Structure 1
Amino acid sequence: MFYVLGDIHGQTAALDRALRLIEADGGADRPLYFVGDLVDRGPDSRGVIQRIIDGQDAGRDWHCTLGNHDLMFAQFVLTGRVSHPEIKSGKTWLHHRLGGVHTLASYMAENELDHPEWTSWAEAQEAGLDPSSASLQQALSDAARAAVPERHIDWITALPLMCDAPDNHLIVHAGLRPGRPLAKQTRSDLTWIRDGWLDYDGPLDHRVVHGHTALDFPAHHGNRINTDGGAGYGRPLVPCVYEGGQWFTLDETGRTPLQPAA
């Protein structure tokens, strides 16, 4: 038996509820896999990362794969870079649709900004951030390097791209490039893929468990299970559990079978 949580996106209250549901199901000491995208959009990315680190430090059998939003966050702190070639819209990580500003706010609420217009993060928020401003990006990058704990960035950059799970399951963030051996899957495929993956209904060497593409509720597609129920957009974070050859979702009433789509 093992559990999987889809994209959390800075929602600590939703994470705490999901962990309580897992504990009530008898899974507190069972393996738990996080598919990544711990940060952005929600109000407390810092708290989400710290809760998972604390759980691992306490000896919980918790595993996490790298999500594209986690990657963009670490990239910004380390390099100040806000763009990524996989973002086809051209929006930067600081754009409100991607949610990087919310991640920074969870770390930097009290930190000063060395910026000609604003002396604090709160002032910048109140004024309405201009993510395209090079001077603001530099000020935020400098402040982020001072505010974000080194351990958080070290932890993110050490996250694996995939995790093996029992009964031939494979945990990844976004998916796989069908027909390509695991050893030749790229970081871009594993953290960003949609085209050529979401519409693939053929056989795979593993049953793949992923997130990345937000749905209204987790879905079983036969060869893959998408666990992203849209917590980053205000929907519940739904724990998924595998036991005895079957998948289930959890809520306060207990388990509900997660059946392959017809």
Structure 2
Amino acid sequence: MRLYAIGDIHGQLELLKSAHELIAGDDAAHGGGGTIIHVGDLLDRGPDSRGVVEHLMRGQAEGRPWIVLRGNHDRFLPRFARQPDWIDAGLGSGKHWLDHPSLGGAETLASYGIEYDGDHARAHAEVLREVPEAHLRWLESLPLWHLTPRALFVHAGIRPGVDLARQSEHDLLWIRNGFLDDRTDHGPLVVHGHTVVDHVTHFGNRLAIDTGAAYGGPLSAVVFDDAPPQLLTREGRALIARH
């Protein structure tokens, strides 16, 4: 089975559509039947988080073979709707999602037609009115990982030495220290986003695919089939840098 993986999207709907088109062309050229895995962070920072959610929900409803994993940013909006004072333990600043401008929460609200003015109570009321309940439930239901014979796909990474079934949600969505600097064999190749790299990079035991779409970088797509993982480009498949 051919697999494709797409890095962190962060509200960049047009980049997502372009990545899907690139994958469709490659898949058709190789006989079709490929599955696309999105490694999370659908929301925040970019201009159209709502559009990204609707695009992915619609594709799944139409039966497209799209797997969508949960990223740390994908918890903020539904948690705010259910528990407006909640602060994610992964935020070292201890600040609320909407009080931390670099997180991009205001951009997500704007995509739903909500102008954030610093008033949490007003924003919460508008979220309950403007954000479809179906979007919130879909975001809350996203899986944390997807395991295949070729690789383990996850948003941030894993805690080395811990069985997959015992991994904490916090680590799967937030981990950096203890994972990025670990060179041990995890068994399957771990394919992840969360930590931005200049270009898709193979570190031997892991493959980093978040190339900074949130900050003006590309949204990268990688193919996994009988050959080693390769980057999809407009010119065709390309070798991936190794570190």
Counterpart check, 1:146 vs 2:132: no
Given that 2:156 and 2:193 are in contact with CA atoms closer than 8 Å, whether structure 1 keeps it comes out as yes
Aligned AA (1:148): V
Residues 150-176 of structure 1 show CA distances to partners (whole Å, capped at 9, x for unaligned) of: 111111111111111242x11111000
Report the CA distance between 1:29 and its aligned residue. 4.0
- Give the TM-score, by structure 2 length: 0.93
* Corresponding residue of 1:159: 142
Counterpart check, 1:106 vs 2:108: no
Distance 1:81 1:197 in 2: 30
* Corresponding residue of 1:215: 197
Distance 1:20 1:141 in 2: 36
Q: Secondary structure at the match of 1:38?
A: coil
Report the identity percentage: 42
Counterpart check, 1:251 vs 2:211: no
* Corresponding residue of 1:18: 19
* Corresponding residue of 2:51: 47
Distance 1:76 1:29 in 2: 38
Given that 1:92 and 1:98 are in contact with CA atoms closer than 8 Å, whether structure 2 keeps it comes out as no
Given that 2:197 and 2:210 are in contact with CA atoms closer than 8 Å, whether structure 1 keeps it comes out as yes
Aligned AA (1:20): E
Distance 2:19 2:200 in 1: 14
Distance 1:82 1:233 in 2: 26
Report the CA distance between 1:6 and its aligned residue. 0.6
Report the CA distance between 1:83 and its aligned residue. 2.1
Which structure 1 residue ranges, 5 or more long, are not aligned?
A: 110-120, 131-135
Report the CA distance between 1:92 and its aligned residue. 2.6
Match of 1:236 among 207, 218, 223: 218
Residues 197-219 of structure 1 show CA distances to partners (whole Å, capped at 9, x for unaligned) of: 11011111221111011112221
Match of 1:65 among 65, 69, 73: 69
Q: Secondary structure at the match of 1:40?
A: coil
Match of 1:194 among 154, 172, 176: 176
Q: CA RMSD in A?
A: 1.4
Distance 1:228 1:152 in 2: 24
Aligned AA (1:8): I
Aligned AA (2:179): W
Distance 2:48 2:125 in 1: 20
Distance 1:195 1:139 in 2: 37
Residues 30-64 of structure 1 show CA distances to partners (whole Å, capped at 9, x for unaligned) of: 10000000000000000001111111111111101
Aligned AA (1:104): L
Distance 2:158 2:94 in 1: 24
Which structure 2 residue ranges, 5 or more long, are not aligned?
A: none
Distance 1:147 1:165 in 2: 37
Distance 1:19 1:37 in 2: 16
Given that 1:6 and 1:211 are in contact with CA atoms closer than 8 Å, whether structure 2 keeps it comes out as yes
Given that 1:108 and 1:143 are in contact with CA atoms closer than 8 Å, whether structure 2 keeps it comes out as no
Given that 1:78 and 1:145 are in contact with CA atoms closer than 8 Å, whether structure 2 keeps it comes out as no
Structure with the greater alpha carbon radius of gyration: 1
Given that 1:5 and 1:227 are in contact with CA atoms closer than 8 Å, whether structure 2 keeps it comes out as yes
- Give the TM-score, by structure 1 length: 0.87
Name the count of aligned residue pairs: 238
